[in-house]
Amino acid sequence: MSTDDTTRDDLPFERRQLANWRRTARTLVEALPYILRYDGKTIVVKYGGHAMGEDGVSEHFAQSLVLMKQTGIDPIVVHGGGPQIGAMLERLNIKSEFVDGLRVTDRSAIDVVEMVLTGSINKALVSAINSAGGRAVGISGKDGNLIIAKKLQKVKRDPSGNVERIIDLGFVGEPETINPEVLETIMNSDLIPVVAPIGVGKNGETYNINADTVAGAVAGALNADRLLFLTDVPGVMDKEGNIMPSLTISQAKALIKDGTISGGMIPKVQTCIDALEAGVEAVVILDGRIPHVLLVELFTEHGAGTLLRHDD
């Protein structure tokens, strides 16, 4: 007889149902060591705008977060929203351009960026988590001065004249200070913080900050056990297109240098390295379009995606 009676259509319904329950019980038992491993740990999850655009993913994502919280993990969500911002700017006929993957954000655009991130995406994620049985609260980097930011200085070298020039990205910033007590207060109240990547300058200016950068800075400030990047790629690929399950900091730097890691993956991997060097134990790049990929990564033996870790 097959050890998995769930595939036997000739069995009575009760037998097949019992087999389903047994399989669920085995899954829970197999997950138990990993549940104990992460009990009481802080895990920062960066939820990319491309990942959240897929139908049904938000519901799966919310359910996974609630289960993480119920098993004793302290999750923190930092979300992006690039595609959604682009769509709204287009609807409003506001021109937008990118420099090295960063959106040039002028005075008119920053209002739209803040509206979409803090007013639309943030509240939709909070609502999804609450509907799944959790208790979430949405904030931006402005709240409680969570993210004190400064203007990002972008320098480009002119290849013809070998001259450097400063590119004005407008209200694009980078974190200068992270105040972790804001998040700690929320987590101590048994709530899940959902953070929009908007920062505030020392003079009250609003800054649009890359969500990967915010997630890395937050994870570093909290000495998080894990930083999980949910994006629209399955992980870091080698030159043959195969996913690399694990990389050390030195290996990742070497792969950037020899061109294996290229294009838009370079700043993402560099953010992972920065987070590790700031005190995060490990960082994982995952395909956020896969239902419950968070649970696969945390509570199974093999995990998913590419794990970046400290050198041995």
- pLDDT tens for 187-212 read 999 999 999 999 999 999 999 999 99
Question: Who wins on pLDDT, 29 or 201?
Answer: 201
Q: Name the least confident of 54-58, 105-109, 165-169, 215-219.
A: 54-58
- Name which residue leads in pLDDT, 18 or 68: 68
Confidence of residue 157 (pLDDT cuts 50, 70, 90): low
Write the CA distances from 117 to 2, 194, 260, integer angstroms: 51, 11, 33
Q: Which of 61-75, 89-103, 283-297 shows the lowest mean pLDDT across its residues?
A: 89-103
pTM: 0.87
| Amino acid letter, 38 | Y
| CA dist list (Å): 283 to 125, 212, 242 | 22, 12, 19
Does residue 2 surpass a pLDDT of 60? no
* Phi, psi for residue 122 in degrees, rounded to 5: -60, -50
pLDDT tens string 49-66 = 777 755 555 888 999 999
pLDDT confidence bin for 158, thresholds 50/70/90: low
Say what the pLDDT of residue 88 is: 92
Q: What is the mean pLDDT of residues 120-128?
A: 93
Work out whether strand 226-231 and strand 42-47 pair parallel, antiparallel, or are unpaired: parallel
Which residue ranges form the domains of the chain, and what is each CATH number? 41-309 (3.40.1160.10)
The answer on pLDDT for 100 being more than 70 is: yes
pLDDT at residue 15 in the model: 72
Q: What percent of the chain has pLDDT over 90?
A: 57
Task: Name the 3-class secondary structure at 170.
Answer: strand
| pLDDT tier at 25, thresholds 50, 70, 90 | confident
Amino acid, single-letter form, for residue 155: V
Mean pLDDT of 126-141: 95
Most confident region among 20-24, 82-86, 210-214 by mean pLDDT = 210-214
**CA-closest candidate to residue 62, choices 113, 3, 127:** 127
Distance separating alpha carbons of residues 303 and 245, to the nearest angstrom:
9
pLDDT at 19 over 60: yes
pLDDT band at residue 48 using 50, 70 and 90 as cut-offs: confident
Distance of CA 88 to the CA centre of its chain: 22
Closest CA to 31 of 297, 246, 282: 297
Give the 3-state secondary structure of residue 312: coil
What distance in Å separates the CA atoms of residue 288 and residue 276, rounded to the nearest whole number?
A: 21
Residue 162 above 50 pLDDT?
yes
Q: What is the mean pLDDT of residues 123-127?
A: 93
3-state secondary structure 194-240: EEECEEECCCCCEEECCHHHHHHHHHHHCCCCEEEEEECCCCCECCC
pLDDT of 178 above 80: yes
Place of tokens 């799944």: 132
Mean pLDDT of 81-95: 89
Question: What interhelical angle do 249-257 and 265-277 show, nearest 10?
Answer: 150
Q: In what order do the strands lie in the sheet with 198-200?
A: 173-178, 147-151, 198-200, 206-208
Structural tokens at position 262: 């290229």
Decide if 202 contacts 189 (C-beta within 8 A).
no
Report percent pLDDT > 70 for the chain. Answer: 92
Average of per-residue pLDDT values in the chain: 87
